[in-house]
Structure 1
């Protein structure tokens, strides 16, 4: 009986994903944060001012939960909301100076954890991995 490589690839992908998620969750908890808080701060830190919808699409948090997380971060003074002058239905979210200072301190450490995860993997293998995972993701989305 021949080995089903698609099934094996799927199982390896799912196990690797779980392990990576646990590693990242543990790393983020070292900063006294939940993953959802960190994801929103990270996207605003790197991309700047975004609408609530854009934030929701950029992170893996469903739209029902994102308002709650945004409210918590706003109460902590890490992000702020601003209404769009042209369309009252649109609300922009941006990181505050306090939020930026926090991310300036913790993001370089977080990046080191991610870089250590890929230590020893060639640039070519990383590029291949990116392309393969993009293809899998696009197929799953369609």
Structure 2
């Protein structure tokens, strides 16, 4: 019976994840952004100036794709690159004033969409679910 429950859990988790991702994608698209672009801005908004590698690791986008995403955001005037003086191989990424303003306007609305997705789950249930999913995610 536990195998059937594991399979059912997998299906429910997969469907839930897809539904949540679609809802979030729709919200982000309302701001004229793709998920990857918004994820980069969100990382910079919450952590400040970072290297390309730090952003790539934070948003789970490979280094080849992250450059493309950053090019798009730079063209929109939302971020800028600066070279590291100590190591020419390192490039820092930070939001422009326009990028900060964009995130200050949109992030609270985006956060509210996420709150609405999980509104029927208590804080204690959220903590339990976070712990369970972390435990499952650590298995190989």
Q: What's the TM-score, normalizing by structure 1?
A: 0.93
Instruction: Return 5+ residue gaps in structure 2 as ranges.
Output: none
Q: Could you tell me how far 1:60 is from its partner in structure 2?
A: 2.9
Q: Distance in 2 between matches of 1:31 and 1:80?
A: 20
Q: Distance in 1 between matches of 2:81 and 2:135?
A: 35
1:23-77 CA distances to partner (integer Å, 9 max, x unpaired)? 0000001111111111100110110011101100111322221100101111111
Partner of 2:35: 35
Q: Distance in 2 between matches of 1:20 and 1:81?
A: 32
Flag as ranges the 4+ runs of structure 1 deviating above 6 A: none
Q: Distance in 2 between matches of 1:138 and 1:97?
A: 38
Aligned residues: 139
Q: Could you tell me how far 1:87 is from its partner in structure 2?
A: 0.9
Q: Distance in 2 between matches of 1:60 and 1:54?
A: 10
Q: Distance in 2 between matches of 1:112 and 1:62?
A: 29
Q: What's the TM-score, normalizing by structure 2?
A: 0.95
Q: Distance in 2 between matches of 1:106 and 1:100?
A: 10
Partner of 1:97: 97
Q: Secondary structure at the match of 2:66?
A: helix
Describe how 1:89-128 pairs up with structure 2 within 5 A. Answer: 89-128=89-128
Partner of 2:19: 19
